[in-house]
Amino acid sequence: MSRIIKLLICLATLAASAAAATNLNGAGATFPNPIYQKWFSEYHHAHPDVQINYQSLGSGAGIRQLTEGTVDFGASDMPMKDEQLAEVKAKRGFDTFNIPTVLGAVVPAYNVPGISTDLKFTGPLLADIYLGKIKKWDDPAIAKVNPGVKLPSVDIVVVHRSDASGTSFIFADYLSKVSPEWKDKVGANTALSWPTGMGQKGNEGVSGMIRQIDGAIGYIELIYALQNKIAFGAVQNADGKFVKGSLDSVTAAAASLKDMPPDFRVSITNAGGANSYPISSFTYLLIPARWSDAGKRAAMVDFMTWVLRSGEGMAKDLDYAPLPKSVADKVRDRIKQVQ
């Protein structure tokens, strides 16, 4: 009888634990997915009663699913626009906080046969490649900024994102600042009307296509280039220096930001400073300002507090830049406003 009682008690305890467990579901940007998965895993290890599930679908999907109410939170590399914030408010009845989490770099990655040195790119050169105006790797415009490099007469295969992507927004936001033609013809958004090239889904898809095709060029988040051992080039910054994407050069770009706006919606592409990498950006979690589920609210607030206390220290291991202290302090104050 005592064994049966013990078993019943055990089952009751397990049932109570399951009932007390909190699940948070999110979706969005592929740009920060490696660090987010690390954070969600580590947080769950420290807090077994909280499970955070995240689908790496692209920034556009994150904003859309948050708006439709199919997730508890979204994620995007592009801060939400005024009209997007208004739509969420109209449909779901709450304001949305754009919470910066880390910074990263979007790099021009390539697969050019016979090239073992790092190539250099100017902003206008990248724009002309993606406008379809430069079609061969030995084009004089590429050779001019890469003197002494024996460039092959190989077709350039342009690869871009097919999904609504924050990585695309960051890349296009930069090109819009350095190329009037790009700004006029294409602009900056998560979904673009591409003048040329083939589309692939996610940073993962673009990375895979670059590796497979000789002559390919694509834009991907730094960690994807490093993890997949894909060559990527240096980009000329606003001070005229050619700088490769790295933890230090992204941190330098963040340091150029003198005053973070209260809603955190800001662009740091083409930042000044000799050491700044010009295609750098914050990435954001999109958090409801008011929650109807008290348990989920408590879990999200505690997770975000944990990120600032412990998670930011993990960013450098995955080649993301942690938030500057001044920004982290403002984020901490914003989290206290979640109701």
pLDDT greater than 50 at residue 135 = yes
Mean pLDDT of 134-159: 97
Q: What is the pLDDT of residues 292-331, one digit of tens each?
A: 999 999 999 999 999 999 999 999 999 999 999 999 999 9
Alpha carbons 284 and 289: distance in angstroms, whole number? 14
Q: Which CATH homologous superfamily contains domain 2-103+282-335?
A: Periplasmic binding protein-like II (3.40.190.10)
- Percentage with pLDDT > 90 across the chain: 92
pLDDT greater than 80 at residue 2 = no
State in words which class domain 105-255 has. Answer: alpha beta
pLDDT of the residue at 13? 44
Beta bridge partners of 104: 281
pLDDT of the residue at 4? 63
Burial of 206 (0-12, 13-18, 19+ CB in 10 A): buried
Q: To which residue do tokens 């670059």 refer?
A: 210
Q: Give the pLDDT band (50/70/90) at residue 20.
A: low
Alpha carbons 258 and 240: distance in angstroms, whole number? 21
Task: State the chain's mean pLDDT as an integer.
Answer: 94
Q: Can you point out the beta strands (E) in 31-117?
A: 50-56, 73-76, 96-111
pLDDT greater than 50 at residue 264 = yes
What's the residue count for the chain? 339
pLDDT of the residue at 258? 86
CB 248, CB 273: distance < 8 Å: no
Boundaries of every domain in the chain: 2-103+282-335, 105-255
pLDDT of the residue at 3? 62
